[in-house]
Structure 1
Amino acid sequence: MAHFVDRRLNPKGKSHGNRRRFIGRVRTAVKEAVNESVRRRGIADADQKEMITVPGKGIAEPTFRHASEGGHREYVLSGNRSFNVGDRIKKQRSGGGGRGGKQGSADGEGEDEFLFVLSRSEFLELYFEDLELPDLVKQNLKEIKAAKPNRMGYTVAGTPSNLSVSRTMRNAFGRRIALRRPKTRDMLEMAARIAELEALDSRDSRQSRELESLRETLDRQERRRRLIPFVDPLDVRYKHFEMRPEPSSNAVMFCLMDVSASMGEREKDLAKRFFVLLHLFLKQRYETIELVFIRHTQVASEVDEQTFFHSRETGGTVVSSALKQMQEVIEARYPPSEWNIYAAQASDGENYSGDSRLCAELLGDRLMKLCQYFAYIEILEESEVKLMNSEENGMELWRSYRQVATEWENFAMKRISKPADIYPVFRELFVRKGQKVSDV
């Protein structure tokens, strides 16, 4: 949670209630600035730190002063050397980022706006406030990337599974050479010569001396071989690993949205929050994520993020066109054997009559086999959500998608009308195996 610390002195007579109201006004201004920043930013940059400017107007703490008789008083403050009682001061205009008016001074200075920087953690805390995420999920989303073990040389201690045979044998070979451990081949040749001399029926003095010398040498070398083992514990080396942030694999996130006239700014703002949250979830598993934006009316097209959220089109609504476009992009650029594919779709539920059945077929027969996760949100007014809380009251597209949800566990759907409704769609991403999530 973001905390505002008021370090001003609190002399006798100050109102604690006024101070709390002051901090509340500042927090409200910061929250509005964060929401505006989310609308302005791209999805991939939504969790970066932000410089926030709070207007000076309206955040000053109210005070009371005693007036002289008649409500009018003229005086000169102590230390003033420029003005006398009765002098008229010309009103200064505000300039730059300051605020003039009644606070304007003789040298043109005014009250500046309140400027400070929110860290990534503080920014996300304010952003998550409307989404009503559990504390555990908030903490996970604010943590740094997941780490993977990386090879970092060798160590003298470790588990048997990390034993490096090649490095161990190389150390043993170098040690045997340095200590001049007797070679097996030389000892076999020496033993063969001894056996040859012992097989003679009669030996002269020279052969006898040679036999005795060979026996002493062979005995000495055997003792040396026992003292210098083939592999010593000092030779053993294990592979050493360190945990480092590293992408586990490639991931691509498809954002699909209806951009017909019925999708206004409120609907697009909720859709963007939905896409941002899914992107933050995926960043915990993958360091790099590619984004693909597909918008549609009666036809679909791949566009950039600016066009996706801010361009408004007219015409009918054919949802299957977006699903077909997504399949074409996957086949052209993102083979499932190399990419983890995620998709998020936002719509107001309207669709061309008869097209919803085709959407269900495209998902069930083609796309769901390729996707790790597919999430669909239907953005409605709050009154409409209450009326359409059952399958029978939903539109044709909702009913068709319900059939897909019953057949595929990696398909989630939810009706939303405000930011707090978004998180339940993502609970399935955090559910452990064997647990169930309540029905949408």
Structure 2
Amino acid sequence: MDIIDRRPNPHGKNIENRRRVLNRARDAVQRAARDAVASGKLREVGNGGAISIPSDALHEPSLHRVFSSGVRDVVLSGNKVFSPGDRLQRPPAGSGRGGAGPGEGGEEGGAEDNFRFVLTRDEFLDVFFDDLELPDLVKRQIATTDTMSVTRAGLSSDGSPSQLDLGRTMRHSMARRIGLRRPKPDLVAELEARITALEAHPAAEQSETLAALKAELVVALRRMNRVPWIDPVDLRYRRFSMTPTPSTRAVMFCLMDVSGSMTERMKDLAKQFFLLLHVFLERRYKRVELVFIRHAEVAEEVDEDTFFHDPRTGGTVVSSALVEMLRVQRERHPAESWNIYVAQASDGDNSGADTPKSCALLRDQILKLVQYYAYIEIVGSGAVIRGETDLWRGYKTVAEIDDRLTMRQVADKRDIFPVFRDLFARRSETA
């Protein structure tokens, strides 16, 4: 007896089981990754590593046998204790290994072991940023990227045997055979049968008919040999070509206050927010450009390393950063060709005369160009949180009339990821 395994995936069961386990554990892995951010391990985000989750996160319903009723025959391995016919006593409930017995070391209520996942960088970032997205990414202009994709490009008369289009090949073969009047096999078989019947019962008056049939059979066989069933001219192969994949162009402006009013703790919180934003953008979008602008009394565009690590002090003029952002935008990122996003971090301190100017720039110029503007304000730590700053109140009036401006406050490291998730959570299409 032959047994044929017709299951769709008989040899890759482990891959499918791993996928199911990861799907069940996704929520627990996400919580563990976000706890790492809250505990101050933000700089390790994106490097992958091990994530531990409770074992009960993988529990699922299952079917078990009930041994309290029914009659069954079993075969047990040999032993030195029992003899044929002995009755085995069922262990008390909960005393087996599967019960909730004592933990390790003989202590009651011992904790279950945790599951430890070792994730690659890509797996870690996929889980970490699973439900985040740049909101309202409108395709203003399609740009050619370096990413190439394989697309169908019609048929050709030569190619790899694996790309042979059998249907088109047989269609061309049939058309050629009909056009050249190739005899059908049924016609040849009919001629051979008639010749055999006449040769079995020869008659003088049928000699001419037999000779004509044999001549017709010779012509038919010669024509069949000259017009083959499949000719190289009939072959058609599927052809593929590499075409560039279009994608939208987007730019993210990162603005940060580095003035003297920003303490080292505040600067560290702002830098952690931008680090998280940077990792997110690098992971999610291949065609997103980043522009780093820091400001005190004067704003300047800097590179990534200077933005995150180079110290600076001085007064605060927020409008200088907005003016610099507009300058860079006009020179390199025209609004008709780019999707523009802005993220700004500040402690809210600003010169009194500059706040109205900053709000006017934001309301009258910047928000008309951008798809999204996220502003986070670094406030006091712990329970000591001061009232609304002048900059917060000014931005708040702008946010009330334009929903492209979103504002949040951050007071502690644990606030960074919830605020980040709130700002960049994936919006529904109907929202």
Higher RCO (C-alpha 8 Å, min separation 6): 2
User: TM-score normalised to the size of structure 2?
Assistant: 0.48
